[in-house]
Structure 1
Amino acid sequence: MAGEPDSGKKRSTIWEVARVAGVSHQTVSRYLRNEGGLRPATREKIDKAVAELDYRPNLIARSMRTRRSNRIAIVLPELTNFVPIPVLRGASAAARAAGYTTDVVGLEGDEKRRAEGTLSLLDSQQIEGVLSFTPLSDRVIEAAGRRPIVVYGEYDDRMHSRGNLADGKPAGMIVRHLADLGHRRFLHVAGADDWASAVNRRQVYELTIAELGLESYGVVEGDWSMASGYEAARDLPANSGVTAVLAANDYVAMGVIRGFQDRGVRVPQDVSVFGWDNEEFTRYFLPSISTVDSDRETIGRQAMTRLIALIRDEPQPAIELESLFTLVPRASSGPPPR
């Protein structure tokens, strides 16, 4: 069928990459091992040749030569119906670019069982290192010794986001953005209070309202669901004076908008609504939903880069998260009614 990849296509070799790039195969080998000393122009030529030939290192052959598995385990607290796909995608892409394959492992049970499972992975000698997105005790780190392990505890035991993913700063960004448009009275429909992200968003919302001298009609205790957003909009008194609603996530925002629409309240002409997470449906809902984009792939990519540096005994790269969150204003928000 036209457009499908040719499954019988011969794998490109390091010699072909060297020929297309105009360099020696030894130089390509250094490039693939991510060794320093290559000129930027040389690295760029090899980059282009690798992309043109769709070259992928033969990891099986390499592991036979070096007696290394070139495999990394990515550890989650357990494999539930929620899996942080963007984080895993970023981590896997970084590993693949460096010549490693990844195995995603869900470690169930309490902290002790997770510790035992992590150490068993390292003891198996089938993996080169562990990247954990769930907290591990200091005992695990100490027992691991010099074996590569990076703990990037972005999720707790119930897969609730924490750490950088739970950062509440965008709540302040949203309030400031809406205040700049002229809004003065706000409502926040919160997420479940057993999530660090919900608590952080509420705290930053309240602090920013106070700092800017704005008014908060209140905080509605929600549970991340469309229903909680719908009920908040349905029950908001007509004389509340609220012109802007900050929803805990995009599903809550969708519920808020629908609740207002069923009451004949126009969005954004009468009330502006802002969500969070930049879910795909936000672009196609009517009106399209203003939201916050979280670059979770960067979280995964930078965490994996740290682990690979540890495996290779290289200096740890700096972690840059300044641009992790971006406001995405759309049709559900605008100036307040005059």
Structure 2
Amino acid sequence: MGVTYVKEVMSPEELLEAYPLPAEHKKLKEARDAEIKKVFTGESDKFLVIIGPCSADNEDSVCDYINRLAKVQDKVSDKILIIPRIYTNKPRTTGQGYKGIVHQPDPEKEPDLHDGLIAMRKMHLRAIAETHLFAADEMLYPENWPYISDILSYVAVGARSVEDQQHRLTVSGFDIPCGMKNPTSGTLSIMLNSCIAAQSSHTFMYRQWEVKTDGNPLAHTILRGAVNKHDQSMPNYHYEDLVLLNEMYQELNLKNPACIVDANHANSNKQYYEQPRIVSEVLHSRNVSDDIKKLVKGVMIESYIEPGNQKISEHIYGKSITDACLGWDESERLIYDIAEKL
């Protein structure tokens, strides 16, 4: 086989023992998770803003960014719950390029998964200690989940992973909300089938164990736009798209029907500066339809300190080295604008 076993990485138990979540932060997380859960069950009418860098590439700049978010959260806490994005694994369309801090704790050096796991956990723990906010991450590799299961408050399954059986079954064992994105084709039924699977109980093999899950009633949909056969972006955040998704939900026996709208990716045609306009339209749709207001629980926004993106070699502080992001000034205004329009 063309596989070289490089070195054995530490187990989740070893990582959590070396870098534990302090008891006082566990209590804070329980309280925060309960708040977020109430949004999905309909017990709370607060709006979720899942916002942050495309990839969490640098501990200092990521924590700087989240500290800024925490100050804004204090000002909008009556209407909005902010969940910072700390995305530590990045899917690459061609498999080439920077795959996230877990792979490369230093983007300019060779992959080192052992040090990457430590870097990931330390960054999360620092962000929690400094801000008392608990983050979202994308589950690119289901077997990574035990390394961060105690520190995340939200998980997303990406457009290229949402049809994968192992992702769906692993989500069924979560006790936090997990958003299932529509696939790149845009087929809504595939996204909803993923929710059915994630909300169901399963028995399967996971990390050398036969496991049984209870099902995750907080599994829900994320609309991120689609790409057609001509490689053209097809947005799916418009009023008619939300009405259609709501109608499809009504035909299924899913718990806690909910949708998050991703304002970037194919919805913006990767034009990051369009995100405020897209969010504004989604909020307008919520305000003219009670059904859409009940369905759309929040938005997802790619944002960092500096707008746009850069090459890894440029070393601009707080600027994305993967997809282009909204800058901090525009992001702060957007959050306040969301609060005003709710």
User: What TM-score range do you get, normalising by the shorter chain?
Assistant: under 0.3
TM-score by length of 2: 0.26
TM-score by length of 1: 0.26
Structure number with bigger Rg = 1
